[in-house]
Amino acid sequence: MKKWLILILIMLMIIGCFLLWPTKTASINTKTITINNQKIIVEIADTPAKRERGLSGRESLPPNTGLLFVFDEPGQYGFWMKDMLFPIDILWLDENFQIVGSWLNADPTSYPKSVTPKVKAKYVLETNLGEITH
């Protein structure tokens, strides 16, 4: 009987260790930026993996938030609505966060259409429809 009790206690300790084992979570880097005198809290997409994933698969964005794509060099970066579940506004920004291009009301049904600005941009901001007035 004592052997079974000891065995059960050992098993419970092992299970407890697995439940308490720290898990690796991805940290979300956020920043507040100002576009046209409007403050918006943005999640930063500054790696190839984060830029590729974008907002795909998300069901919505909270008000006054967005996803800011940060590129190493200014360029003419094209965007599409692959795996998007809601419409957004996409704004291309220069180094001073001035809007240099836009795709307003980018709708998920537009996929596989891709939009590329006519000028180079350092950043691209995805926000809720009408969030940034310009």
**Has residue 20 been placed in a domain?**
no
**Has residue 8 been placed in a domain?**
no
State residue 80's pLDDT score: 94
**Has residue 75 been placed in a domain?**
yes
**How many CB atoms are closer than 10 A to CB 40?**
20
**Has residue 118 been placed in a domain?**
yes
Q: How far apart are CA 125 and CA 99, in angstroms?
A: 10
Residue 41 belongs to a domain with what CATH number? 2.60.120.1140
DSSP-derived letter for residue 55 is T
Residue 15 reports pLDDT greater than 90 = no
Domain that holds residue 92: 25-127
Q: How far apart are CA 13 and CA 124, in angstroms?
A: 49
Read off the pLDDT of residues 65-124 as tens digits, 9 standing for 90 and up. Answer: 999 999 999 999 999 999 999 999 999 999 999 999 999 999 999 999 999 999 999 999
Average pLDDT in the chain: 85
Read off the pLDDT of residues 17-40 as tens digits, 9 standing for 90 and up. Answer: 444 444 433 456 889 999 888 999
Q: How far is CA 51 from each of CA 46, 56, 81, rounded to the nearest angstrom? A: 7, 10, 13
Q: Model-level pTM?
A: 0.77
Cis, peptide link before residue 112, omega less than 30° from 0: yes
**Has residue 38 been placed in a domain?**
yes
State residue 11's pLDDT score: 57
Residue 132 reports pLDDT greater than 80 = yes
State residue 43's pLDDT score: 96
Looking at the structure of the chain, the number of domains it has is 1
